[in-house]
Chains A and B, each alone.
Chain A
Amino acid sequence: APRGRSSNGPVLIRFPGEKMNNLTNQQFAEEYLNRYGYIPAGLLHRDGSSMKHALRKLQRQLALPVTGELDSATIAAMRAPRCGVPDVGQ
C-alpha cells in the first residue's frame, strides 16, 4: 500500500532559486500600487486614506467592484499576469 502522507499533511519544501513571496497581502498591494503608478512611494505610509483612494483608482481601472478595500477580488487581480507598463502616469 502506498506510504501514507506524514501525519501533519503534505510536506512543503523550499525550492532553491524560487522567488519566495514572503510579503503580506498588504505589503504586496503597496508594492503593486507603487509599481503601476497608483500611489507615489512617499505617500504610502502617511495615512490610510491615500491607500483607500489608490485602491479605488485601481479597482476602476481594472473593472473591479469599487470598494476601496483590499478584498479578495482585488488581491487576485493584482496577482494575475499583466503588462509592466504603469497604468497611471509615466
Chain B
Amino acid sequence: FLTFEGELKWKHQNITYRVQNYSPDLPPEVTDDAFARAFALWSSVTPLTFTRLSSGDADILIQFGTKEHGDGYPFDGKDGLLAHAFPPGPGIQGDAHFDDDEFWTLGKGAVIQTRFGNANGAPCHFPFIFEGRSYFSCTAEGRSDGLPWCSTTANYDIDNLYGFCPSELLYTLNGNANGDPCVFPFTFEGRSYTACTTDGRSDGYRWCATTANYDQDKLYGFCPNRDTAVTGGNSQGEPCVFPFTFLNREYSTCTNEGRTDGHLWCATTDNFDRDRKWGFCQDRGYSLFLVAAHEFGHALGLDHSSVREALMFPMYSFTEGPPLHPDDVKGIQYLYGSRTEPDPKPPTSAPLEPDSTTQSNACPTLPPIVKPTGPPTSRPSEPPTAGPTGPPTASPSVLPTGPLDPADDVCGVQIFDAITEIQGQLHVFKNGRYWRIQQGSKGPRAQGPFFIANTWSALPRILDTAFEDPLTKKLFFFSGQQVWVYTGQSVLGPRRLEKLGLDPKVHRITGAIQRNGGKVLLFSQNQFWRLDVKKQKVDRSEPYPVESMFPGVPENPHDVFLYQGKVYFCQEHFFWRLSLHDQVNKVDQVGYVTYDLLHCP
C-alpha cells in the first residue's frame, strides 16, 4: 500500500460527507446506499465513523460531473478515467468526483429499481411476459398515461407483480422542485419543450420544468435516465428510438455496425442518416459501490497500491466478493489504527415502540425507502395513487453511520424484523442489515452487520421471517405477500404467498418452525399452516389455531423460529421458549431477546 506524501490523514475520527448531486443513471436511493456501503467498508476496519450531512460544509464532498467540472482535472468522456479524489485536508481536499459520462450501475447492468406498484420496490425482471409478449425493457403498454412500468417477475400475466420505472414522468433529481415530475409541454425562453433538454446548460445534464412555464415559475429538476437511455455519444441520457434508419437500413435493436470497437449504439431519433443523433447502449456499466470505495480510500489518505487484487489498485475490475484486500486493511490501519470494539452500551431507557420514526432513527444510514403514501394496489391500468412521499434528493439531516449506532450495534436494536437459524448459527435481521450470532467459548458473539443486499441481492430491505430447510438447505425468505427461495446463489422469486396455497387474505408470514418429514409450520398472527417443503404447498388452506398446539404463548407474535431444537415465540422485546414434546409443548423459559438470547451487556 502507499500513503500520500506527508502521510496526509484526517485528525478527527467522525468524518462527515455530503452528496452534492446525483447521477441520472441510478435511482438516488441506490446511489445513497452504494456510498453508505462504501464508507461502511472502511469503518468496519478502523475507528472511523461516517456521518452524512444534507447541507453545509462536509469533510468529503461527493459530486458527479463531466469533462472539465471545476477542479482543473477534466474527465475524459466514456471509459478511460472513471473518477478521482483528493487526499485529506480542507476545501477541495478529501472530495470525490465521479465521471458522469460513464454508465453507473452496481456492476451488473442497469439497476431498474421500481417505485409504487405492488412489488415493494423490487427491481425489474427482464425479459418479462405481458399479454403473451416478451419485453426486454420498461414499457408504457397497457397504460394511458405513458408511465413506463415493468414486471418484477418473469411473467406478469401469472404473477401480476409490477412497479414503475425511473422516468422523468415519475420524479426528477436535485433541482429546486423537491423531486416533482416534469410537466410537458413547458415553456423555456419562450420556446415550448415536450421532452427533457440540455438547452441552457453547458454540462450536458438533461433537465425539465416542473410547471408549464419555467420562465415564470423557475421550478426545475434533472431528468433520471430511463432504462433505454444511451450513454456518451452526442445524446447522453436520451432514450433509443426503435426502429431507426442507418445507412438506409432499419434497425430495431442496438448495433455495432459502423464501428471498429464493437460497442453497441443506437440512434435517438428515427433517422440517424438525417439527424446524426446517437449514443452507446447500456452495458454492464461500472459499479458505483466499488469505485466509490476506492475513491474514499484516497479521501482517507491512501494512494494507489501495486497489489493487483487490492481495492486501491488503480485499475477497475468488478468483483462480487468482499472488496477489501489485506493490503488495503494494512494501509488504512497504518493511518488510523484498527477498529476499536464499540464500548458495551448500557441498555437504553424505556424502549421506544417501533414505528416509522423509530425505524428511521434506529437505522439512519440506509436512506428511507421512498414509498407511495397511497395503497400499493394501483395497477398498470391505473396511475399511482399518490406521488412519492419524500423528494429523491431529500435526506435526513445528520445520519451517523458510525459503529456506535443502533444501526451497527446489534445490542442497540429494539425489535428485529426476522430471526432464524441458518447453518447452525442464529441470524438476526433488521432494516437491510443482519448479524450472525456465533456461539464461542466465552458465550455468543455477534458478527456483522452485513448487508442483506450483499448476500441475497433479490431481497427487500424489510423481512418478516425466514427459515432454512434442513433437508435441502434451501433458504425461504418472506416479506409482505411475497416469498423468495434461495438455493445457493440462485433465487426463485419473488412469488406471491398464494403460490404456496395460502389464502389471498394472508397478509404476511411472521414465523416458521421446521418439523420432521419435510414439513414446516408457517405462522401468521395466531394461526399456522403446515407446509410441505418439497411440494411447496400447504396441506390445507384452512389454518390451525396456535393455542391448540402451543398453549401459553403470546397472541400475535412478531416472530416464531426454531433454534437449537427449541421453539421461540417473540413479542415486543421478549421471547417465550418451548421444548417440543409429542403431546403438549411446554413453555420452559421467558426472557429478553437482546439480553437472554444475544447476551448483550
Residues of chain A touching chain B, judged by Cβ–Cβ distance below 8 Å, are 3, 10-13, 15-19, 36, 60-63, 77, 79-85, 87, 89-90
Contact = CB atoms under 8 A, between A and B. Distances in A.
B586 interface: no
A61 B2 CA distance: 11
A10 B303 contact: no
Contacts of A90: 5
Given A16-B234, A19-B77, A80-B316, 17 more contacts: A11-B258, A12-B258, A13-B247, A13-B258, A15-B265, A17-B234, A61-B304, A63-B307, A63-B308, A81-B80, A81-B82, A83-B81, A83-B85, A83-B295, A83-B298, A85-B298, A89-B5
A85 B304 contact: yes
Interface in B546-576: none
A15 B77 CA distance: 14
Query: Chain A contact residues: over half helix, strand or loop, or mixed?
Result: loop
B55 interface: no
Contacts of A77: 315
B247 A80 contact: no
10 contacts: A15-B265, A18-B232, A62-B315, A63-B307, A81-B79, A82-B81, A82-B316, A83-B294, A85-B304, A90-B5
Nearest to A87: B304
B258 A83 contact: no
B260 interface: yes
A11 B258 CA distance: 5
A84 to B, nearest CB: 3
A15 B234 CA distance: 9
A84 B75 CA distance: 8
A74 to B, nearest CB: 12
Contacts, number: 88
Given A11-B247, A17-B233, A61 B306 contact: yes
Contacts of B304: 61, 83, 85, 87
A60 B307 CA distance: 10
B315 A10 contact: no
B84 interface: yes
Size category, B interface? 35 or more
A82 B258 contact: no
A83 B76 contact: no
A63 B317 CA distance: 14
B257 interface: yes
A62 B305 CA distance: 9
Contact of B315 (A3, A15, A60, A81): A81
Query: Chain B contact residues: over half helix, strand or loop, or mixed?
Result: loop
B82 A15 contact: no
Contacts of A61: 304, 306, 314
Contacts of B257: 10-11
Contact of A81 (B234, B258, B286): B286
Interface of B: 5, 73, 75-77, 79-85, 102, 232-234, 247, 249, 257-260, 265, 276, 278, 286, 291, 294-295, 298, 303-304, 306-308, 313-316
Nearest to B101: A19
A83 B85 CA distance: 9
A9 B370 CA distance: 52
A80 B5 contact: no
Contacts of A87: 303-304, 314
Given A12-B258, A16-B234, A19-B77, A82 B278 contact: no
A13 to B, nearest CB: 5
A27 B79 CA distance: 18
Nearest to B234: A17
Given A11-B247, A16-B276, A85 B303 contact: yes
A15 B267 CA distance: 11
A90 B247 CA distance: 48
A77 B80 CA distance: 10
A87 to B, nearest CB: 5
Contacts of B265: 15
Nearest to B79: A81
Contact of A83 (B82, B233, B260, B276): B82
Nearest to B275: A16
Given A11-B258, A87-B304, A82 B233 contact: no
A82 B314 contact: yes
B76 A19 contact: yes
Contact of B258 (A10, A19, A36, A60): A10
A34 to B, nearest CB: 13
A87 B315 CA distance: 11
B316 A60 contact: no
B475 to A, nearest CB: 35
A89 B291 CA distance: 21
A80 B318 CA distance: 13
B306 A83 contact: no
Contacts of A84: 73, 75, 81-84
A15 B314 contact: no
Contacts of A82: 80-82, 314-316
B104 to A, nearest CB: 12
A16 B233 CA distance: 7
A12 B260 contact: yes
B533 to A, nearest CB: 45
Contact of A63 (B81, B84, B85, B306): B306
